[in-house]
Amino acid sequence: MASKTTLNAKNLEVLGAARLAELLIEISTGDAAAKRRLRMELAGKGSPGELAKEIRKRLTSIARSQSFIDWRSVRAIAGDLETQRQAIVEKVAKADTTEALELLWRFMALATSIFERSDDGSGTIIGIFHDACEDIGHVAALAKVNPIAFADRVFDALVVNNYGQYDGLIGIAAPALGPSGLEHLKQRMIDLSNQPVKRPADKDRRAIGWGSGGTIYEDEIAERSRLSTVSLALKDIADAQGDVDSFIGQYDEKTRKVPKIAAEIGKRLLAAGRAEEALAFIDAAEHRKSDSWDWPDFEWEDARIEVLDVLGRPEEAQAARWGCFERSLSADHLRAYLKRLPDFDDVEAEEKALDYAQRSRNLMQALFFLVSWPALGRAANLVIQRAAELDGDQYEFLPRAADTLAAKHPLAATLVLRALIDFALTHSRSSRYKHTARHFLECSSLSSAIRDFGAFETHDDYAARLRREHAKKASFWSLIP
């Protein structure tokens, strides 16, 4: 049973409304965000109109602000924006969808001014605007908007989508736009593409940088942005209309042969029941040739495999899955390959795949695959056989590999940890010394479980050598008890 002093809603109820009100006033003193939240709650209790008025006032205040939002302020502004968004969607929209939709457009209009004066490296703020963009589609459908007027609003939004806040809006808005709205939006985009370009006189052109082709001018960037906006919009409209031919028409012949684009076209043709055409587009893709790089283009490979399955060509699909595995040691493609084999054949094929991985020239790739599969005995053997090749700079993966191997393969885990330690000390990566010290202590702990170090140094010998070779790294040794 929870203590009566545990902070939860039931326990706080015993304080009574009057005392809780006093505490809220006390707690919110000096906290502007808390005060705004309380005012919004009070406004919402009064009427949806009062709440909408309070939200509108806050959005106007945010729009007028000019202070820079640094990384320390991002959480506060994100919290404020999310509070406004939730109030619009969860309270105003339930009473008045038209008012809620108007507030959402005003909310989205804040994006440009906020991103111009902020550093949203975490992606928190853009995520809130993307949520609000989704809300526009839902609320517009409930509000039964005029599709033509709504299409005009969507058009106006897309031409100022400088920070990606309206990305995906056409697909989101498609149900509310309907056929007439989508067609109207399409025509407006076509009209935009046909507008004559107004280029200023050479003496008035503003240079903003340099490129491989020489000076880059502001009007050139504006023109590229306009054409990109139109092209992206027409692709999204084609998808919303289910018009795969219009989608294809947005790419020239050369671009259609880019593997990623060919895959996108192929998937749409497949969805339209045109599998043979899909395969033709996919197989026409042109891949870059390199003697040193044969990594699969997974999006292209997966699209091709899907089409082959639909066309009833399972042997070719299986060959493609195995090819992806051989070139990348992709566990997903191997699992998909094994899943389609008859009983018992899959066991033999798995052994063949694990043998192949263990022989791979790329040690780190092979180790990642074997640990993840998992095939820990093989991973341990690989480490012991090729310990000198371990890349101790792979600090994002190797500690996890050591942890996974430690219980049943302590020697292999120790060798992985030593690779991390040796790299950090040899290259004087002092920022890693705290972790390096922990790895060293883990080696000490694992040593008691290793009966035979074989050709490798015992832990005591290894530690002694480190002290000789890195005696001057006092900042590291100070971390060792």
CA-CA-CA-CA torsion sign (78, 80, 83, 85): negative
pLDDT at 39 over 70: no
pLDDT at 217 over 80: no
Residue written as tokens 């517009």? 140
List pLDDT tens digits, range 253-280: 999 999 999 999 999 999 999 999 999 9
Alpha-carbon separation of residue 80 from 39, 52, 271, 319, 381 (angstroms): 13, 15, 42, 53, 55
Cα 235 from Cα 189, distance rounded (Å)? 11
Residue 97 neighbours by CB distance under 10 Å = 18
Q: What is the mean pLDDT of residues 374-389?
A: 97
Indicate the pTM of the whole model: 0.77
String of DSSP letters for 134-151: HHHHHHHHHHT--HHHHH
Query: What is the rounded average pLDDT for all residues in the chain?
Result: 90
Amino acid 211: pLDDT = 66
Amino acid 459: pLDDT = 97
Q: Which residue has the higher pLDDT, 290 or 188?
A: 188
Q: What is the mean pLDDT of residues 302-317?
A: 98
Q: Is 32 exposed, middle or buried (0-12, 13-18, 19+ CB in 10 A)?
A: exposed
Q: What is the mean pLDDT of residues 334-359?
A: 96
**Token pair in block for residue 114:** 């906020």
Residue written as tokens 């992985």? 416
Amino acid 50: pLDDT = 86
Residue written as tokens 């798995």? 350
Task: Quote helix, strand, coil % in the chain, to nearest 5.
Answer: 70, 0, 25
Amino acid 1: pLDDT = 47
β-pair type (214-217, 207-211)? antiparallel
Contact 266, 281 (CB under 8 A): yes
Contact 60, 13 (CB under 8 A): no
pLDDT at 2 over 90: no
Amino acid 201: pLDDT = 73
User: What does the longest C-alpha to C-alpha distance in the chain come to?
Assistant: 82
pLDDT > 90 fraction of the chain, expressed in percent and rounded: 74
Residue written as tokens 């006093």? 22
Closest CA to 241 of 171, 187, 192: 171
Pick the range with the lowest mean pLDDT from 92-101, 128-137, 201-210, 427-436: 201-210
Amino acid 7: pLDDT = 64
Rg (CA), the chain: 31
String of DSSP letters for 409-455: -HHHHHHHHHHHHHHHHHTT-GGGHHHHHHHHHHHHHHHTT-S--TT
Closest CA to 277 of 253, 252, 248: 248
Q: Which residue has the higher pLDDT, 461 or 14?
A: 461
Contact 443, 480 (CB under 8 A): no
Closest CA to 392 of 436, 425, 422: 422
pLDDT at 37 over 90: no
List pLDDT tens digits, range 57-106: 999 999 999 888 887 788 889 999 999 999 999 999 999 999 999 999 99
Amino acid 289: pLDDT = 73
> CB under 8 Å to 36, separation ≥6 — which residues?
58, 80, 83
Domain-wise residue ranges, the chain: 251-359, 361-481
3-class DSSP state of 306: helix
Contact 284, 256 (CB under 8 A): yes
pLDDT at 381 over 90: yes
List pLDDT tens digits, range 226-254: 889 999 999 999 999 999 999 999 999 99
String of DSSP letters for 197-244: P-PPPGGG--EEEEETTEEEEHHHHHHHHHHHHHHHHHHHHHHHHT-H
Residue 221 neighbours by CB distance under 10 Å = 13
Cα 168 from Cα 156, distance rounded (Å)? 14
> CB under 8 Å to 410, separation ≥6 — which residues?
446, 447, 449, 450
Amino acid at 218: E
Amino acid 14: pLDDT = 72
Residue 199: pLDDT band with limits 50, 70, 90: confident
Residue 49: pLDDT band with limits 50, 70, 90: confident
In the chain the first and final C-alpha atoms are separated, in Å, by: 43
CATH number belonging to domain 251-359: 1.25.40
Amino acid 288: pLDDT = 82
Contact 120, 126 (CB under 8 A): yes
Amino acid 234: pLDDT = 97
pLDDT at 430 over 70: yes
